[in-house]
Amino acid sequence: MLRVGTGIGVSLTTENESASTNDLVKSLRLAAFAKANTAKARAAKTANGFIPDLGLKPAASETSPASAIAEPTVAVKKSVTKSFRHVSPRKFAAVFACVFLLGVGAIWSANQSYAPEMYAEGGMAPAAEAQAEGKNYAVFDLNINIRALREEQLKRMTHTPEVMILGASQWQEAHKELLHGVDFYNGHIHRDYWEDLPGMVELLTKYNHLPKKLIIAVRDRQFKPVEARKDWLWEPGIPNYRAMTQRLGIETESYIKTLPYHRAQALISLPMLFENFTRWYNSAVHPGPTIAHRMTNMDLLLPDGSIMWSSTKMHLFTPERTAGEVDAFAKANLSDPPVVDQKGVEAFVAVLDYLKEKGVSVYLVNPPFNPLFYDQISGTPYEQGLARVNSLVHTIATEHQLPLIGGFNPHDVGCTADMYIDSEHSSPKCLQKIFDQFLDLSAAKGHA
């Protein structure tokens, strides 16, 4: 029993071990198969972005929500990337150019909308319409296309004033009352240069409003060459300048030099748009006609061509502020002397000859500086440049037998520091002294 039992026991033990071994082998084979298929699945996932159906149940980590979301995202990204690879460089460049131009156009249009007085085509027409009806026109400030305003005014003018003045903003506060009842129009423009005289005379000729007496102002930087200028307010007047040079048959400044580059840059400027939009949005009052003679925050454009400061600005024009403006102006100009472009002188003289032919009596005038500035120029490069301009104006006046009034030296005119808001812009009190000179000369010539 013991032996048999032992034999049977041994035999049974051997069969059990054999069965276990077979089961273990099968299990190992299945595990290896599963492992191999799982590796294939992962490789397929990596290569193709999805898991093929291999008849296996994926592991829990492969069926998690995060995995389910991530897999389509990767597929979409790869699909988009693949789509862009099929877009030709030429087509991509065309699309980019269209988007860019649309953006630039939107900025351009928005600047015109929020600052029409400066940038919009016909933006000054509403002001001229109001002035033709005898009303004032309120604006945020004097940053306007004043050359366009002059054309719109002359276009609507029903009669020709007896006396006009052409010059820069030094004359902006020259109201008609300064001429004691004489019919007067103030045709000043901002930051004028030598092209502006032919341009303005072209407008006077075009609309048949050449006056009997024309006062022409010459400032220190009047004959500054185009390439030396840092401002661009003169650019809108160039078409009229070209028309006059053609009328006179004289040399015209090149197109390349006079294209409105800077004006275009301002129109597509995002900072400019932000400034224009915020000003419009934050203001309780917007530009428009008014019968008010002065407003709190809005400057006024008057029918006679002059301006009226807002009450807010008038309170800002203190002696302390003026002194600060003078110091800043002196630092910027004393080492930068005025220069003379001979082409500008020739154009200036040609216009004087044209006006003489048309029977217009011309008076030349130099605007006086603030004494606080003028007294600082002695011995500086600026004084030398100003002396050349002054000598040039005297020579032109002598050769053409034209009266010369005013003067750069404020002491000769009788203007004092309290009559100025900065180095150049004087009040009507100072301007009255110059117009009194004109009235006296006009009476002596028998023109009054």
Query: What does the CA dihedral 214, 244, 148, 180 come to, rounded to 10 degrees?
Result: 10
Copy the structure tokens of residue 30.
């299945």
In DSSP notation, 360-400 reads -EEEEEEPPPPHHHHTT-TTSHHHHHHHHHHHHHHHHHHHT
Report if residue 35 sits inside a domain. no
Phi–psi pair at 314, nearest 5 degrees = -60, -35
Q: Contact at 8 Å (CB) between 139 and 280?
A: no
- Dist CA 157 CA 153 (whole Å): 6
pLDDT, one tens digit for every residue, the chain (448 residues)? 433 333 333 333 444 444 444 554 455 555 555 555 555 545 444 444 443 443 444 444 444 444 444 555 555 555 555 555 666 888 878 888 899 899 999 999 999 999 999 999 999 999 999 999 999 999 999 999 999 999 999 999 999 999 999 999 999 999 999 999 999 999 999 999 999 999 999 999 999 999 999 999 999 999 999 999 999 999 999 999 999 999 999 999 999 999 999 999 999 999 999 999 999 999 999 999 999 999 999 999 999 999 999 999 999 999 999 999 999 999 999 999 999 999 999 999 999 999 999 999 999 999 999 999 999 999 999 999 999 999 999 999 999 999 999 999 999 999 999 999 999 999 999 999 999 999 999 998 875 4
Report if residue 411 sits inside a domain. yes
Report if residue 193 sits inside a domain. yes
CA 42 to chain centre: 61
Report if residue 67 sits inside a domain. no
Spatial CA neighbour of 235 closest among 146, 313, 347, 295: 146
* Full residue range of the structural domain in which residue 404 is found: 106-444
Return the number of other C-beta atoms located less than 10 Å from residue 59's C-beta: 10
Phi–psi pair at 400, nearest 5 degrees = -105, 5
Q: How far is CA 352 from CA 49, 207, 370, 402, 427, in A?
A: 83, 19, 29, 10, 29
Q: Contact at 8 Å (CB) between 49 and 71?
A: yes
- The amino acid at residue 350 is A
CA 400 to chain centre: 39
Report if residue 60 sits inside a domain. no
- Dist CA 288 CA 139 (whole Å): 7
- Dist CA 136 CA 127 (whole Å): 8
In DSSP notation, 265-321 reads HHHT-HHHHHHHHHHHHH-SS-SEEE--SS-SS-EEE-TTS-EE--HHHHHH--HHH
- Dist CA 321 CA 331 (whole Å): 16
Return the number of other C-beta atoms located less than 10 Å from residue 209's C-beta: 18
- Dist CA 102 CA 109 (whole Å): 10
Q: Contact at 8 Å (CB) between 173 and 427?
A: yes
Spatial CA neighbour of 214 closest among 206, 204, 223, 224: 204
Report if residue 341 sits inside a domain. yes
User: Where do the H-state alpha helices sit in 60-177?
Assistant: 65-85, 89-114, 116-119, 125-132, 146-156
Question: How many separate domains does the chain show?
Answer: 1
Pairing assessment for the beta strands 299-301 and 307-308 based on DSSP bridges? antiparallel
Question: How many residues are listed for the chain in this entry?
Answer: 448
Residue 225: the pLDDT is: 96
Angle in degrees, CA 318, 320, 325, rounded to 5: 95
Q: How far is CA 319 from CA 207, 308, 416, 418, in A?
A: 43, 19, 12, 7
In DSSP notation, 398-443 reads HHTT--EEE-S-HHHHT--GGGBSSSS-B-HHHHHHHHHHHHHHHH
Report if residue 302 sits inside a domain. yes
Q: Could you tell me the strand order of the sheet in which 213-217 lies?
A: 184-186, 163-166, 213-217, 361-366, 404-406
Query: What does the CA dihedral 92, 98, 100, 105 come to, rounded to 10 degrees?
Result: 180
CATH number of domain containing 118? 3.40.50.1110
- State the Rg of the chain over Cα: 41
Burial (0-12, 13-18, 19+ Cβ within 10 Å), 95: exposed
Report if residue 270 sits inside a domain. yes
Instruction: Give 58's DSSP letter.
Output: P
